[in-house]
Amino acid sequence: MKGLNRWAQTFLDEWVELNMYSAWFPLNNASKNFTSIIDISTDKAYKVTGSGIISGKNGRWLMKQPWPAYDNVIVAFRDLKTKQIQNQKSHTELNHSNLQESEADSVLTECAFIFDLYSKLFGPQDSTYFKLSLAPTTGGGYSRKNFVSWRTNHFNFDTRVGLAHEIAHFWWKNANATI
């Protein structure tokens, strides 16, 4: 799968992203809401993040996804950089490998603004946990329960619009977009 780099599928030397689009686990369409605990082993050079709560280090990781979802996303990359905003109300986490510090701050600020705006307009979410993974390539993104994956090499207008779109799925999930 090395070198496969399409929409929602990234397999680079420094970044591997597994999700339902890469068909890495059997999907039972009758059960679209499951919780999971996954034990992950990787090369020690890689750090792991994903759509659940991650713990571990040095090639041994555990991903707990206690909220019902239909996908498990696992991301492994060599140069993991993490920024978090955590308070009594929420946990927001950014995982990336190539942003400048100021760009990472801008992404977190933008996500907080989007959440605040949508919450005021459409009501609060049932979860206060949010994780964003920015792949070091181009090609769009996707949304899962409490998780967004987006492809970008830097923070720009397209990133801002894309994140607003993906975060909107938290409110409308798979709503019919046709008029």
Phi and psi angles of residue 30, each rounded to the nearest 5 degrees, phi first? -75, -20
Tokens representing 71 are: 């996908």
Q: Higher-confidence residue: 1 or 85?
A: 85
pLDDT tier, 153 (very low <50, low <70, confident <90, very high otherwise): confident
**Contact call for residues 150 and 135 (beta carbons, < 8 A):** yes
Burial of 155 (0-12, 13-18, 19+ CB in 10 A): buried
**Domains of the chain and CATH, by start:** 5-77 (no CATH), 81-172 (1.10.390.10)
Q: What is the pTM of this model?
A: 0.88
Q: What is the arithmetic mean of pLDDT over 1-17?
A: 69
Find the angle CA(42)-CA(46)-CA(47) to the nearest 5 degrees.
100
pLDDT tier, 115 (very low <50, low <70, confident <90, very high otherwise): confident
pLDDT at 110 over 50: yes
pLDDT tier, 85 (very low <50, low <70, confident <90, very high otherwise): confident
pLDDT tier, 179 (very low <50, low <70, confident <90, very high otherwise): very low
Tokens representing 137 are: 């390539």
pLDDT at 95 over 90: yes
**Contact call for residues 53 and 66 (beta carbons, < 8 A):** yes
Dihedral, 128, 134, 138, 144 alpha carbons, nearest 10: -30
